[in-house]
Amino acid sequence: MTTPQGTAARNTRQRSAVATLLSQVEGFHSAQELHAMLRDRGERVGLTTVYRTLQALADAGDIDVMRPPGGEQLFRRCSDGHHHHLVCRTCGRTVEVAGPAVESWADRVAEQHGFVDVSHTLEIFGTCRECAAGR
């Protein structure tokens, strides 16, 4: 879908497996988790390939990448367009949130300081209702 141009890009069993898995699981998962899930499903895909495929998907903008404090980066298939995430620290439940005001604020602030080619990262962490009640 989001295959710009240039490098050929061939259809392989492994890529389909990763894409399919991503379309079926909820929330964010690490490359290693996804690799383990594929293994459990009986799909035979190398860890290296999982990493490569995830990176390609991320570059293409088909999946989101998040780097939580403390370790591995997490991947998730998500809706098109720019948005951010509200993530539960305990259960990992994720809510996509849009903040047009934040986008324009960030751009404006950067512009005021003479910065161009601006991007930003924003993640909100908290404890969701269920997890807060559960203890």
Instruction: Could you list the residues known to form a binding site for Fe cation, using ranges.
Output: 82, 103, 120
Query: Does residue 8 touch DNA according to CB under 7 A?
Result: yes
Report the residue count for the chain: 135
Query: Does residue 60 touch its own copies according to CB under 8 A?
Result: no
Query: Does residue 95 touch its own copies according to CB under 8 A?
Result: yes
Report the distance separating Cα 52 and Cα 22, nearest Å: 14
Give the H or E element holding residue 30. strand 29-30
CB 18 within 8 A of CB 50: yes
* From the list its own copies, DNA, none, partner contacted by residue 48 (C-beta under 5 to 8 A by kind): DNA
- Token look-up 């620290």 returns 89
Cβ proximity to DNA: between 53 and 128 the closer is: 53
CB of 121 to its own copies, least distance (A): 5
The three-point CA angle 111-113-114 to 5° equals 65
Q: Which of 2, 5, 117, 135 binds its own copies (CB under 8 A)?
A: 117
**30 DSSP β-pair partners:** 74
Query: Does residue 59 touch its own copies according to CB under 8 A?
Result: no
Q: Which of 10, 23, 81, 101 binds its own copies (CB under 8 A)?
A: 101
Report the distance separating Cα 39 and Cα 33, nearest Å: 10
Task: Identify the DSSP state of 70.
Answer: S
Residues of this chain that interact with its own copies (CB under 8 A) are 65, 67, 69, 86, 88-89, 95, 97, 99, 101-102, 105-106, 109-110, 113-129, 132
